[in-house]
Structure 1
Amino acid sequence: MKKEYTVSGMTCTGCQSHVQQALQDLAGVQHVTVDLANKKAAIEMEDEVPFQELQAALQDSKYKIHEGEYKEELAPLPAIRKKKDNKKGTFYCPMHCEGEKTYDQAGDCPVCGMDLVEEASNSTAKDTQYTCPMHPEVIKDEPGSCPKCGMDLVPKDVDESAEDKTYHKLLKKFWISCVFTIPIFLIAMSDMIPNNPVLDLLPMKVWNWIQFGLSLPVVFYATWMFFERAYRSIVTWHLNMFTLVGIGSGVAWFFSLVGLLIPDVFPAQFKTESGAVHMYFEAATVILTLVLLGQLLEARAHSKTNSAVKELLKLAPNKAIIIKDGEEREIAIDEIQVGDMLRVKPGDKIPVDGVITEGKSTIDESMISGEPIPVDKAVDDKVSSGTINGKESFVMKAEKVGSDTLLSQIIDMVNSASRSKAPIQQLADKISSYFVPVVIGISVLTFIAWMIFGPEPRLVYAFVNAIAVLIIACPCALGLATPMSVMVGVGKGAELGVLIKNAEALQKMNQIDTLIIDKTGTVTEGKPSVEQVFGSESFSDKEIIQIVASVNQQSEHPLAEATVRYAKDQGVKTAAIDGFESVTGMGVKATLDGKKVWVGNDKLMETEAIDCPEALLAKATEQQAKGKTVPFVAVDGLLVGFVVIADAIKSTSKQAIADLQALGMEVIMMTGDNQHTAKAVADELHLDGYHADCLPQDKQDKVKELQAAGKIVAMAGDGINDAPALALADIGIAMGTGTDVAIQSAAITLVKGDLHGIVKAKHLSQAVMSNIKQNLFFALGYNTLGVPIAAGVLYPVFGVLLSPMIAAVAMSFSSVSVIGNALRLRTKRVGK
């Protein structure tokens, strides 16, 4: 049996793992799934486990389990260090410690201490004003020259992004830290110079006090945030990189302070020939400065990981030309309303989504579809926000504005997917949860081992190597391994016109071995047109098209629209109907002039027991064998004619299917069209299989059947009838040219609506998964080698020891190397 409970007190994936493990350990529990986002725990049990036992399993923790619904009162998060600028926006942790949780202010992650990263916003950009650097009272709406002195005007009040502010703030602290750390380092290293000329100026005890004074700005200003983060990590027991850095450098600095104030408490091993205790101010400050350098480099690298979104944001224009009462005037983009008529001039960016009502042009859609060839557009063709007009002017009608535009939806989807977690990250999360306690344990064992087995001065060796172990370990690199690759990969997909809803879809796409595709709008152009009309002896061709168009005028199906459009072009007037009813997957029926009328496929004719003359059926079958779609027309229970509709196969479909098959995917077509048409299309495309006369339930059942056989199934479609199968498939792939319902049900959307986008998605998934594995190898390999070397395992054989300062260099660059490897995805060639 399976029961669902509500769990309160969970804030991050660590909480999720703890609750899941505690409940899983109970006798009688077979499997537990904990949903962090919805605060739910689904428990599969042999027999029902008493609720009191479930409560007892969590009684020693902050988590509580509840029967039924429970509205949790959210406790305040641990204090987040607020930036002085109080920058408003959307911020998230780059390590995704709390899943997709975001904050509205800059600061530190309350779990891992990392600087929160600002999400690129798709809000409308403000109009930029320009001013003169010599005469600030001069303000213009456009660039130019100052009317007073002739100087070029410069942008006024340029808003700096939060990540740039973080970078510049860290840069300032880094230079301050360097200014005070370098003298400390030179004083400490003077012992290596023969006869130490520094001692001729002042005795070492005085120099020690100077080192102490110089270390104060480094410890208590430039790098004090590391100690704040370390303290918070211990209090909340979310141990992380800053726990290790804080303990290691803090112990070294405090040791030196005690040695400076009360040197007599230390044994002779820690003292120099002059009787002064050996100071580690230089080790503490150099370590902290190098960690600060690592944070600085990370801040710079982070700004590149979401560069794809920033490039998309640049596409959004600030202004548009509206046509009202026969006059054209310029307005701000956020003033546009649905239905407004807009003029788009040559070279302008299209302001919102809409349809061309007058004129024609070629549109560069490469920035949102990934296809470099401009597309010809004419009256009734749709255009998208952010795409660039060619050399002709046209008038368009606004259909979607603000956050409803395709560009805004792409940006939102990319941002959301970038914050999601891939299943492979569970491995890194599990390792990270044990990482810091294990490293601290190794540090303690290192100290003990050197105390017992080390050469003299044993205490000094033990102290230095224990600190080196703490400093070199870097759980941060492990935590960043997956999210950095996901963020860059999702952005790369957006550039290619492949929109990925979440990281799980990006990972699972790599495992897909079976693809189910629809026909209309997926394999074909989705722009059907009527070729011929066949009527019986009692109904003329004109009467047949009038019946079809009259019934279909209330239907939104592409085939119905094609018949209505054909009737209009032929000058045939439609008539009023009653009792319109759509029969899913079959067709429509209604009453026309008191007669019962059916328009649909052969399955509808069979279901409604329509009398079908052999002669008409033979003609229809002949057209179906050519790959044409044939809707039948019946009046009062008798088949009286049919319409021949052609929907050309996309020029890219055949090659795309061949490429998918070469990647090891079995491609199966499922269509509501008849057997003859489906076979003709399948033969032309060399598909691995096909199924005709499919209802939406048939597609869903086929997905279940394949999944039960162990297949990893992707479903590609574009219609409302595809939505159930898209949602059930392991990966649902929607054509961006299709319906909103299909797109909402899918995990991947292809902006161009081209099967070749699936090839790109497959290649992208392979590249991202390979990149993640490389990052995990770097992070795990680095720590696996670095910690033992820092502990001194090479000393007995090679006499090699790792200075804490060298360990700090290695640690600082480990995270940067992971981010740098992830950034390689930006330049990787994906697909053909």
Structure 2
Amino acid sequence: MEQTVPTDRPATDAHSGHAENGHHQHDHSDHVGQFRRLFWIMLVLAIPVVGFNDMFADLIGYSLPSGEWVWWVSPVLGTVVYVWGGRPFLTGGLSEIRSREPGMMLLIALAITVAFVASWGASLRVLDHELNFWWELALLVVIMLLGHWIEMRSLAQTTSALDSLAALLPDEAERVEGEQIQKVSPADLRVDDVVVVRPGAAVPADGEIVDGSADMDESMITGESKAVRRSTGDRVTAGTVATDSGLRVRVTATGDETALAGIQKLVRDAQASSSRAQRIADTAAAWLFWFALGAAIITAATWSLLGLPDDAVVRTITVLVIACPHALGLAIPLVVSIATERAARGGVLVKDRLALESMRTVDTVLFDKTGTLTKGEPTVTAVSTVDGHTEDDVLAAAAAAETDSEHPLARAIVHAAQSRDLQVPSATNFESSPAVGVRATVESRVVEVGGPYLLAQHDVDELTVADTWRDEGAIILHVLADGEVLGALRLADEIREESRAAVDALHAAGSEVVMITGDAQAVADTVAAELGIDRVFAGVRPEDKSAKVAELQAEGRRVAMVGDGVNDAPALAQADVGIAIGAGTDVAIGSAGVILASSDPRSVLSVIDLSRATYRKMKQNLWWAGGYNLLSVPLAAGVLAPIGFVLPMSVGAILMSASTVVVALNAQLLRRLDLSPAASTSRFRDDRADAQT
């Protein structure tokens, strides 16, 4: 059988030690496998150690079979458990001694060593029979191995959750080559290739739909179960599934440049950072070591001075064994494991544990406007007409003229007409003039769409509503037919439907919401007014965004920055918590501590929700685990002996096991947390309503 590789902090050191080579995933699975095998082997050995131990038999109240061999079962198998199963803790304890940083591993090593020596002393009748700790030694090693297995598995589960995305890629792609369709490996695709995605099939690479529309299942990327309609011009991500109809997609990114590759790359950094709560647990273990050692010395000295050397030995060893942090060893790893799994399944990718923990203390959320609160692309937001024409007439005529144009404004107009299910007539004689507009013949009329220069060419006035739209920072295009103005279109960067709910919920959570943008003040104020944003930084150059974050921090605020672009990276790094929103396709993820797979700004509430719930569980577990030791050690030392009460070793062992069960069950409650953006948003609103009531 393969022996485990000892380490004093398996979850952290094993992870970071291989982060820069190509064996990260193997490293994780190897350690998880080793601890899993070691746990099950020790569990099997522990059963006869406990079952044939006379102290445990007396405690439970059953009789052991007769025979000399019964006496040897616990000592022999208990020794195997100590040497083999306890090796990671013994070597970890030695490592902490060498580094002069006593902590969890040294405390465990001390406890199992004391239990081992005392048990042999009791078995050989050199020490008091009450010091027969073989059953407690076996359970102690098994429980601590379980804790380390869970800690390693928490990393492997994150890796597995993200690597499972890659398994959703098709084994082959159908590439269009002239009139033929050739089946190739997704790895052979190149940018600008056109691929066919059949109904029910997965998209082989990131791309843009050039033909067709379909309801896309993007749950494996965003965590949202509801299918999203995607049509010509929309971008699709590798691994998403066209559920109801076929598509033709032009490849825009392959290999390491795809969103899936970006997410998988996060695995190398995910969980590598030190957790504040884990550091608290390590610090608690260090203090607990000195507390237990000091209590043992005081116990030995006190009982010896009282003239009871036998009791001194019994009580001292009992103190050291009871002080072993069963529950403390599980308190943080189990919570981290469950929280990480819940986050990954909810579309929240935790790159930095510390960022997740810090999110609960954030009081200011700074949103980049474009692509975060808004969709980052122009949309027709209003249509104004002159007498005798309807909005549909004007929009259909404009869409007909713009059909052959590739300009983003043209695509926005065509998309607006399609969304209204308008019958767009065909156009001929299409012409495009830079800075003026487009012209085409539509149903025997010359239809033109353009800005101020177009109006000047025909010597006609703009509609009166244009002044209002201009003050709001919108783009204004007029539609003319044979030189006569039919109406005007208002185009602006469309606000995401979820943004208002996100801002309201953040207010309910007690956070101030700030928006930063490079757009003009008028544009920024319009968006801010519509969403109810508290403060606006407008006209900010990309390189100055981080300075604005620092400005907020100088006011004593703890800032979470939410952005999606390359230019947001410095600000994300400057913020107390950097959150990259979107599928992680740009360099912003390099500076963010948390990546939201969804572009839904309400997902920020999911991060706050998870942060608060995780911290709450960690704190509860730490208090329970530490509190047990603070209470049980003095009782085991005999502090209440003057009034006739001394904590029996058997009762202390039962309480120790009970505390471990409580910690484990408490952590499991995290699995019930619904991290969908809608659920988190609703919770914050309900909490505010309850508080007001």
For normalisation by structure 2, the TM-score amounts to: 0.73
Maintained 8 Å contact 1:233/1:240: yes
| Corresponding position of 1:379 | 232
Q: CA deviation at 1:754?
A: 2.2
Residue 2 of structure 2 corresponds to residue 102 of structure 1: no
| Corresponding position of 2:207 | 354
Structure number with higher relative contact order (C-alpha < 8 Å, ≥ 6 residues apart):
2
Maintained 8 Å contact 1:249/1:467: no
| Corresponding position of 1:824 | 669
Q: Return the alpha-carbon distance in structure 2 between the equivalents of residues 198 and 173 of structure 1.
A: 23
Maintained 8 Å contact 1:521/1:738: no
Q: CA deviation at 1:375?
A: 0.5
Q: Deviation per CA, 1:277-310, whole angstroms, max 9, x where unpaired? A: x557842x21221023313543664476354542
Q: Return the alpha-carbon distance in structure 2 between the equivalents of residues 389 and 99 of structure 1.
A: 40
Maintained 8 Å contact 2:104/2:286: no
Q: CA deviation at 1:363?
A: 1.2
| Corresponding position of 2:607 | 761
Residue 10 of structure 2 corresponds to residue 178 of structure 1: no
| Corresponding position of 2:102 | 239
Q: Return the alpha-carbon distance in structure 2 between the equivalents of residues 393 and 809 of structure 1.
A: 62
Letter in 2 for 1:473: A
State which of 579, 582, 586 in structure 2 corresponds to 1:740. Answer: 586
Distance 1:748 1:260, change over 3 A: closer
Q: Deviation per CA, 1:709-728, whole angstroms, max 9, x where unpaired? A: 21222333334444443333
In structure 1, the residue corresponding to 2:200 is in which secondary structure? coil
Higher helix share: 2
| Corresponding position of 1:775 | 621
Q: CA deviation at 1:528?
A: 0.4
Residue 298 of structure 2 corresponds to residue 460 of structure 1: no
Deviates more, 1:356-365 or 1:342-351: 342-351
Q: CA deviation at 1:660?
A: 1.0
Residue 303 of structure 2 corresponds to residue 418 of structure 1: no
Residue 284 of structure 2 corresponds to residue 431 of structure 1: yes
Distance 1:174 1:619, change over 3 A: closer
Maintained 8 Å contact 1:171/1:296: no
Residue 171 of structure 2 corresponds to residue 319 of structure 1: yes
Aligned pairs for 1:296-695 within 5 A: 296-298=145-147, 301-302=150-151, 305-306=154-155, 307-315=157-165, 316-317=167-168, 319-323=171-175, 325=177, 334=187, 336=189, 338-413=191-266, 416-453=269-306, 458-475=308-325, 477-478=327-328, 481-482=331-332, 484-529=334-379, 571-573=430-432, 621-625=467-471, 628-629=474-475, 645-695=491-541
In structure 2, the residue corresponding to 1:716 is in which secondary structure? strand
Q: CA deviation at 1:104?
A: 8.2
In structure 1, the residue corresponding to 2:209 is in which secondary structure? strand
Distance 1:341 1:826, change over 3 A: farther
Letter in 2 for 1:239: P
Maintained 8 Å contact 2:122/2:132: no
**Identical positions, percent:** 32
Maintained 8 Å contact 2:50/2:56: no
Q: Return the alpha-carbon distance in structure 1 between the equivalents of residues 60 and 616 of structure 2.
A: 49
Q: Return the alpha-carbon distance in structure 1 between the equivalents of residues 654 and 223 of structure 2.
A: 40
In structure 2, the residue corresponding to 1:418 is in which secondary structure? coil
Maintained 8 Å contact 2:31/2:152: no
Distance 1:346 1:817, change over 3 A: farther
Q: Return the alpha-carbon distance in structure 1 between the equivalents of residues 301 and 490 of structure 2.
A: 87
Maintained 8 Å contact 1:341/1:397: yes
Distance 1:453 1:293, change over 3 A: same
Aligned pairs for 1:253-272 within 5 A: 253-254=116-117
Letter in 1 for 2:666: N
Q: CA deviation at 1:659?
A: 1.0
In structure 1, the residue corresponding to 2:377 is in which secondary structure? coil
Q: Return the alpha-carbon distance in structure 2 between the equivalents of residues 190 and 764 of structure 1.
A: 43
In structure 2, the residue corresponding to 1:521 is in which secondary structure? helix
| Corresponding position of 2:684 | none
Distance 1:665 1:162, change over 3 A: same
Maintained 8 Å contact 1:447/1:465: yes
Maintained 8 Å contact 2:335/2:618: yes
Q: Return the alpha-carbon distance in structure 2 between the equivalents of residues 721 and 356 of structure 1.
A: 27
Q: Return the alpha-carbon distance in structure 1 between the equivalents of residues 353 and 491 of structure 2.
A: 40
State which of 110, 130, 143 in structure 2 corresponds to 1:294. Answer: 143
Letter in 1 for 2:642: P
Letter in 2 for 1:656: A
Aligned pairs for 1:190-269 within 5 A: 215-221=78-84, 223=86, 226-231=89-94, 233-234=96-97, 237-251=100-114, 253-254=116-117
Q: Return the alpha-carbon distance in structure 2 between the equivalents of residues 85 and 241 of structure 1.
A: 19
Q: Count residues with an aligned counterpart.
A: 613
Q: CA deviation at 1:390?
A: 0.7
Maintained 8 Å contact 1:707/1:713: yes
User: Unaligned regions of 5+ residues in structure 2, if any?
Assistant: 385-397, 417-426, 436-449, 452-460, 478-487, 682-693
Maintained 8 Å contact 1:735/1:751: yes
Q: Return the alpha-carbon distance in structure 2 between the equivalents of residues 309 and 744 of structure 1.
A: 18
Q: CA deviation at 1:165?
A: 4.9
In structure 2, the residue corresponding to 1:766 is in which secondary structure? helix
Residue 601 of structure 2 corresponds to residue 752 of structure 1: no
Q: Deviation per CA, 1:55-76, whole angstroms, max 9, x where unpaired? A: xxxxxxxxxxxxxxxxxxxxxx
Maintained 8 Å contact 2:173/2:186: no
Q: Deviation per CA, 1:115-157, whole angstroms, max 9, x where unpaired? A: xxx976799xxxxxxxxxxxxxxxxxxxxxxxxxxxxxxxxxx
Distance 1:461 1:778, change over 3 A: same
Distance 1:817 1:671, change over 3 A: same
Q: Return the alpha-carbon distance in structure 2 between the equivalents of residues 408 and 182 of structure 1.
A: 51
Letter in 2 for 1:683: A
Letter in 2 for 1:320: E
| Corresponding position of 1:38 | none
Maintained 8 Å contact 1:184/1:281: no
In structure 1, the residue corresponding to 2:269 is in which secondary structure? helix
Distance 1:494 1:818, change over 3 A: same
Q: Deviation per CA, 1:391-448, whole angstroms, max 9, x where unpaired? A: 2233334443444432343344356232322345444443333432332222122122
Q: CA deviation at 1:785?
A: 1.4
Letter in 2 for 1:174: L
Q: Deviation per CA, 1:656-678, whole angstroms, max 9, x where unpaired? A: 11111111122233333334433
Maintained 8 Å contact 1:363/1:390: yes
Q: Return the alpha-carbon distance in structure 2 between the equivalents of residues 305 and 296 of structure 1.
A: 14
Q: Return the alpha-carbon distance in structure 2 between the equivalents of residues 702 and 431 of structure 1.
A: 38
Q: CA deviation at 1:388?
A: 3.0
Q: Deviation per CA, 1:154-207, whole angstroms, max 9, x where unpaired? A: xxxxxx8652453233212321343355334379859999xx9989x77xxx98
Q: Return the alpha-carbon distance in structure 1 between the equivalents of residues 8 and 415 of structure 2.
A: 50
Q: Return the alpha-carbon distance in structure 1 between the equivalents of residues 27 and 55 of structure 2.
A: 50
Q: Deviation per CA, 1:239-286, whole angstroms, max 9, x where unpaired? A: 34454454444445445656887x7xx6xxx5xxxxxxx557842x21
